[in-house]
């Protein structure tokens, strides 16, 4: 039966320069226990073959004890079945385990194999494997696979302070990175590190630099907004407005050229549509989903084309019949011509007819052949006229049908618009109710998240939206109603340098039962959103109410025009280059503490 100590190996394998995941004595043993036993005075447990303490002791018929593997190896290699002590004949099958001696040996006390390295533990031999699993002096590889091999007792310090593969939190953005990549992360990736714009040399956070270069930087080379029309000018953004002022005529010429090209393309398409326009069969009517204006324009152009064809046929010209003449067939309409184009076309037709049929005369006296040809032309024109009239009737019916469909679509659209307006109204009422409830249940501590901070900041800088207000909130469920006002680009003397924050009282549902003017404290806080809690430094200011000021009186309007707060709450330079703004969001907290 295999012993629990088959994993213990006292001998050094000679390879002192490398270690596996276990210690070097946890390999398959060959001989006895080579440990330093405590208070071992009797040599009765020594193996006569390996001279070490017996491992898995066995006994021969002659009464001698050996290690299990030692005696079997001796019997196999010596070739003689004799006891190595007294040379008595020994048969392998007569060798039996000595469990009594084994129990005594396993109860002996032994020093840790790493006692020379400093381990002071003395353990019962049976419990030694468990100790070796936790012994602090056993060399083990780093679990982070950093290639270092260290004593188990040094592992915590190594993992927390030394290991190049250990996870650390970036002091700027809070992201977890390995220690060996910390500098690379800070220099190339961290979004909260201050970097310099390559164009204007101002300092910004890395996560702001792309937006700055795309929208704000005045030194970036940008193309003219008329580039799609042919303008090839590329200038710095700060010079583009001057270019637009100085190149108005050039840009107008580019637009005119584009317009002429479009007009030419339309003119090239229009004549073909009028010459070869077929009747619209009922089964190929326009889809109901077409827009009203498109249907009206198309039907109007069709009506004009048909009318022009009727006018041409009702006013025959003195052009004699010819197989190549410009007379329309039943398959299409004659092309309407006017002005110089018409004059040139007539001359060209006369020239061609003269070359093809030089015997035709334009005098009042015609031959019988000419009369017959003229009669044939009249009959042909009559057929064409009838075909055009039939097509016109079909178009009128199609027009009436589509106008009816358009009226139905208009009715349904009006009904849908009414439903959408009603739903929008209900949605706004629901949002208002939710905001009102959230404001009431905040119990005087309200946190306002200003999302899209960069957008509001730009609007404040150019003067579009200088101030934004938070949703209303209450000091308690039946208490004072207030809101926060933030001027992201400052106000008055702080404009462009500081963030300004004010508190405004509002008309509430329970103002009649409240004490006026307001008496108490208001704590305003700009939250530091640094992921590392220990590095957060919130900016906190406390307002003490002054009853003589209008800002603390009972409001006479939905929102008191007078506010109370700080024009210079926080410098904009610090705000934009720190973790007070994270994920394009600024967080302001207000805590209302009425006296009494």
Question: What percent of the chain clears pLDDT 90, i.e. is strictly above it?
Answer: 47
What confidence tier does 333 reach under pLDDT thresholds 50, 70, 90?
Answer: very low
Give the per-residue pLDDT at 308. 52
Q: Is the pLDDT of residue 283 over 50?
A: no
Closest C-alpha among 437, 504, 508 to residue 467: 504
Q: What is the pLDDT of residues 2-54, one digit of tens each?
A: 333 333 333 333 333 333 334 444 334 568 998 989 887 778 889 999 999 99
Give the per-residue pLDDT at 380. 63
Q: What is the pLDDT of residues 524-535, one digit of tens each?
A: 999 999 999 999
Q: Is the pLDDT of residue 304 over 50?
A: yes
Give the per-residue pLDDT at 91. 85
Q: Are 555 and 506 in contact (CB under 8 A)?
A: yes
CA–CA gap between residue 472 and residue 506 (Å, rounded): 8
Give the per-residue pLDDT at 565. 96
Give the per-residue pLDDT at 261. 82
What confidence tier does 337 reach under pLDDT thresholds 50, 70, 90?
Answer: very low
Query: At a CB cut-off of 8 Å and minimum separation 6, what does 55 contact?
Result: 3, 5, 29, 31, 32, 33, 47, 67, 68, 69
**Sequence ranges of the domains in the chain:** 1-134, 271-277+291-316+328-348+371-438, 442-594
CA–CA gap between residue 219 and residue 271 (Å, rounded): 51
Give CA separation, 335 vs 313, 342, 386, in Å: 11, 10, 18
Between 382 and 296, where is the model more confident?
Answer: 382
CATH topology of domain 442-594: 2.60.210
CA–CA gap between residue 303 and residue 314 (Å, rounded): 16
Q: What is the pLDDT of residues 458-503, one digit of tens each?
A: 999 999 999 999 999 999 999 999 999 999 999 999 999 999 999 9
Q: Is the pLDDT of residue 294 over 90?
A: no
CA–CA gap between residue 490 and residue 83 (Å, rounded): 103
Q: What is the pLDDT of residues 409-447, one digit of tens each?
A: 888 888 888 888 888 888 888 887 887 788 888 989 999
Give the per-residue pLDDT at 19. 37
Q: What is the pLDDT of residues 90-105, one digit of tens each?
A: 888 889 999 999 999 9
Q: Is the pLDDT of residue 332 over 90?
A: no
Strands 498-506 and 473-474: unpaired
Closest C-alpha among 246, 222, 224 to residue 236: 222
| E-state strands within 350-496 | 445-451, 468-469, 473-474, 481-487
What integer best gives the mean pLDDT of the chain?
79
Backbone angles phi, psi at 422, to 5 degrees: -65, -40
What confidence tier does 383 reach under pLDDT thresholds 50, 70, 90?
Answer: low
Q: Is the pLDDT of residue 262 over 60?
A: yes
Give CA separation, 541 vs 147, 172, 177, 277, 590, in Å: 52, 25, 36, 79, 10
Question: What percent of the chain clears pLDDT 70, i.e. is strictly above it?
Answer: 75
Three-state SS letters, 548-584? CCHHHCCCCCCECCCCEEEEEEEEHHHHHCCCCEECC
Give the per-residue pLDDT at 286. 41
List the single range of 136-150, 189-203, 347-361, 386-400 with lowest mean pLDDT.
347-361
Closest C-alpha among 582, 587, 450 to residue 172: 582
Q: What is the pLDDT of residues 212-255, one digit of tens each?
A: 989 889 999 999 999 988 999 999 999 999 999 999 989 988 88
Give the CATH architecture of domain 1-134.
2-Layer Sandwich (3.30)
Residues constituting the chain: 596
């Amino acid at each position: 039966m295999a012993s629990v100590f088959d994993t213990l190996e006292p001998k050094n394998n000679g390879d002192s320069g490398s270690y596996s995941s276990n210690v070097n004595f946890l390999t398959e043993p060959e001989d006895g226990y080579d440990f330093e036993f405590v208070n071992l005075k009797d040599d009765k447990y020594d193996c006569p073959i390996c001279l070490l303490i017996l491992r898995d002791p066995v006994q021969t018929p002659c009464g001698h004890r050996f290690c299990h593997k030692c005696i079997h190896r001796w019997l196999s290699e010596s070739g003689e079945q004799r006891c190595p002590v007294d040379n008595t004949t020994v048969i392998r099958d007569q060798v039996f385990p000595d469990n009594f001696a084994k129990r005594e040996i396993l109860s002996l006390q032994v020093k840790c194999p790493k006692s020379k390295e400093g381990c002071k533990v003395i353990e019962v031999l049976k419990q030694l494997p468990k100790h070796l699993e936790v012994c602090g002096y056993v060399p083990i590889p780093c679990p982070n696979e950093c290639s270092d091999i260290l004593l188990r007792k040094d592992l915590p310090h190594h993992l927390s302070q030394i290991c190049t593969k250990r996870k650390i939190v970036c002091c700027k953005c809070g992201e977890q990175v390995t220690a060996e990549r910390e500098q690379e992360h800070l220099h190339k990736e961290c979004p909260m590190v201050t970097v310099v714009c390559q164009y204007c040399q101002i300092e910004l956070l890395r996560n702001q630099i792309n937006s700055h270069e795309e929208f704000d930087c005045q030194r970036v080379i940008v193309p003219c907004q008329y580039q799609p029309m042919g303008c090839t000018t590329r200038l710095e953004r700060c010079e583009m407005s001057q270019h637009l002022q100085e190149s108005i005529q050039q840009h107008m010429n580019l637009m005119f050229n584009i317009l002429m090209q479009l007009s030419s393309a339309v003119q090239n398409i229009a004549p073909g549509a009028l010459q070869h326009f077929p009747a619209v069969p009922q089964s190929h009517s326009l889809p109901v989903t077409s827009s009203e204006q498109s249907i009206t324009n198309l039907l109007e152009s069709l009506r004009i084309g048909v009318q022009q064809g009727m006018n041409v046929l009702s006013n025959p010209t003195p052009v004699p019949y010819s197989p190549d003449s410009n007379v329309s067939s039943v398959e299409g309409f004659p092309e309407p011509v006017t002005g110089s184009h018409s004059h040139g076309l007539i001359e060209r037709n006369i020239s061609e007819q003269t070359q093809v049929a030089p015997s035709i005369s334009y005098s009042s006296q015609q031959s019988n052949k000419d009369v017959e040809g003229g009669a044939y032309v009249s009959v042909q024109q009559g057929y064409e006229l009838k075909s055009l009239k039939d097509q016109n009737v079909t178009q009128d019916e199609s027009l009436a049908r589509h106008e009816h469909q358009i009226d139905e679509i208009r009715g349904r659209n009006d009904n849908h618009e009414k439903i959408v307006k009603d739903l929008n109204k209900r949605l706004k009422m629901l949002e208002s109710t939710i905001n009102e409830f959230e404001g009431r249940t905040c119990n005087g501590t309200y946190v306002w998240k200003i999302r899209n901070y960069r957008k509001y900041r730009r609007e404040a800088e150019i003067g579009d939206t200088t101030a934004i207000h938070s949703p209303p909130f209450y000091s308690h469920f039946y208490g004072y109603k207030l809101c926060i006002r933030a001027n992201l680009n400052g106000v008055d003397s702080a404009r462009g340098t500081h963030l300004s924050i004010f508190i405004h009282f509002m008309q509430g549902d329970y103002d009649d039962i409240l004490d006026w003017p307001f008496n108490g404290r208001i704590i305003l806080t700009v939250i530091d959103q640094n992921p590392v809690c220990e590095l957060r430094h919130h900016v906190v200011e406390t307002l003490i109410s002054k009853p003589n000021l209008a800002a603390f009186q009972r409001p006479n309007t939905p929102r008191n025009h007078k506010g109370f707060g700080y024009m210079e709450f926080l410098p904009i330079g610090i705000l934009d280059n720190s973790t007070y703004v994270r994920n394009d969001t600024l967080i302001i907290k207000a805590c209302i503490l009425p006296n009494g």
